[in-house]
Chain A
């Protein structure tokens, strides 16, 4: 039945594939390329005209545009860096503790720590905005209780702290994901490997650093690329907490909010689909570079460690 040499079209295959392929092509792949194509057009006298690389020249060459673009990109890079340096190590540490044998209540801890991950950015953004607000006083109150009140700042309102604060809020929300994936990877390490290590006197912390960590490197690689893709098209948290203008003074502007403002418009500025597409294309290239680096560089090398 399944022999590929059978003559004629096997219509049931077409029927099985058609709905998924059609929806996926029409709503995902086609718009993706149509957006890339739109970045080579511009509106002149209400006509859509081919302008070649003009939009990209504006984005990178024009002082106002390029300043915004590099600001958003630099902010986005910082946003990603904080996730890599804070979220993933905390996630790995929690997973390592959770996976220790005979730990009681581990299912409870796991479910509780995962709760922020299921909440929407709108809830998370506003909840933290209220908690950090100088009007309500929960954050200063808590700092006061441990004698550190002088450290308090209206973090979301200050240019120099706002982006870092929001990155940490996002870290707080998403720690659950690396924790779960690493936890799964740690559980899949065969016991004989650890026992062999024990016979050689490698236990506790040493076992983690010398045996487990090298074995979960592929999972850390997956987490890194997932974080990268998620961070470089992030939008919701910044929009919910700081609005489309990503204040104060664009200090929390990232590529997602920059693209939204550009193509959809805000306040008095009209939306410009062509410049919006140009930014989307830049984001596409950035994500593509990241994914390719992962697939051809990191993942291939990590494969060597697998059993």
Chain B
């Protein structure tokens, strides 16, 4: 009896703490979203009230869509993120396969070389990256961003994927070899399908930092036609500081795509983190 009561007391306390923290985590997002649908007067008079028939207004969204080219920004972010992820997964899996499958000389050394980038942030090399992109004419192109994010994502991808590839059964690969499959076919047809869960983990880990990055778009691709959504909203909001409707709507529009991605991939992301892939 006594223990039961104590347990339920602990449970209530646990829920109370978690609910409190959930409110702290979600409150700012909630405030931004509800106010983006209100007219200017209601934003200031009653910041915490939900939009109702009287205060509902889409004026902010109209300004945003008229002034900023948010569809272009969105498209740029999409291209950069998708192409970078594709290259990280393809190149990363190929290198991981080479390291996991073949005992060539310098294998360990190559593994260590590729792992260097896990701990050293690529931003340290920004000055030389910028000079390189300027001299190759890649500055203000999406290619520059894709190259940088691919290089940034590869070390962790190789590390995680080669751990998984070591677990693929040798019998399967040797059976393929006896059937006369080339090493390339063994990789693409037999091994890649088996490590798909690990590839998904790598993809989800890389997706959010690439989508959200401000530093490289700001430095390598600040031109209007190659702005990403993150940089685009930063610049837009900077210009419209006093137009609260526009700022709130721009923020909401920047939140939306990430939230959709999160809803789709959250199970994968959380499973990836909790499965210890980062260790």
Contacts and interface: CB of A to CB of B under 8 A. Distances in A.
Given A184-B276, A222-B279, A172 B128 contact: no
Residues of A contacting B: mostly = helix
A187 B274 contact: yes
A103 B121 CA distance: 38
B47 A34 contact: no
Nearest to A108: B22
Contacts of B151: 23-24, 26-28
A209 interface: no
A17 B211 contact: no
A72 to B, nearest CB: 15
Contacts of B102: 2, 10, 13
A120 B212 contact: yes
Nearest to A120: B212
Given A17-B98, A122-B237, A138 B255 contact: no
Interface residues of B, number: 97
A115 B256 CA distance: 12
A256 interface: yes
Given A4-B105, A12-B183, A13-B102, A126 B278 contact: no
B173 to A, nearest CB: 9
A126 B148 contact: no
**How big is chain A's contact interface, by range?**
35 or more
Nearest to A3: B103
Contacts of B254: 120, 122-123
Interface string A134-160: 001110010000000000000000000
A130 B27 CA distance: 13
A111 B127 contact: no
Given A98-B18, A284-B120, A172 B276 contact: no
B125 interface: yes
Nearest to A223: B278
A190 to B, nearest CB: 14
B103 A27 contact: no
Contacts of B125: 28, 31-32, 34-35, 280
Interface stretch (A61-69, A76-84, A235-243): A235-243
Contact of B91 (A20, A26, A287): A20
B137 interface: no
Given A27-B132, A34-B131, 19 more contacts: A1-B174, A4-B103, A17-B94, A27-B147, A29-B117, A35-B126, A113-B18, A122-B230, A123-B255, A138-B48, A172-B25, A184-B274, A184-B275, A229-B121, A240-B214, A260-B215, A263-B126, A276-B127, A277-B128
14 contacts: A1-B174, A19-B94, A30-B128, A32-B120, A32-B128, A112-B25, A115-B262, A120-B212, A127-B28, A130-B248, A184-B273, A239-B214, A263-B126, A273-B127
**Would you list the 8 A-B pairs with minimal beta carbon distance, nearest first?**
A31-B125, A120-B212, A34-B128, A20-B95, A27-B151, A31-B128, A16-B98, A184-B274
Interface of A: 1-4, 10, 12-13, 15-17, 19-21, 23-24, 26-32, 34-35, 38, 90, 93-94, 97-98, 100, 103, 105, 109-124, 126-128, 130-131, 136-138, 141, 172, 175, 180-181, 183-184, 187-188, 204, 219, 222, 225, 229, 233, 235-236, 239-240, 256, 259-260, 263-264, 273, 276-277, 280, 283-284, 287-288, 291
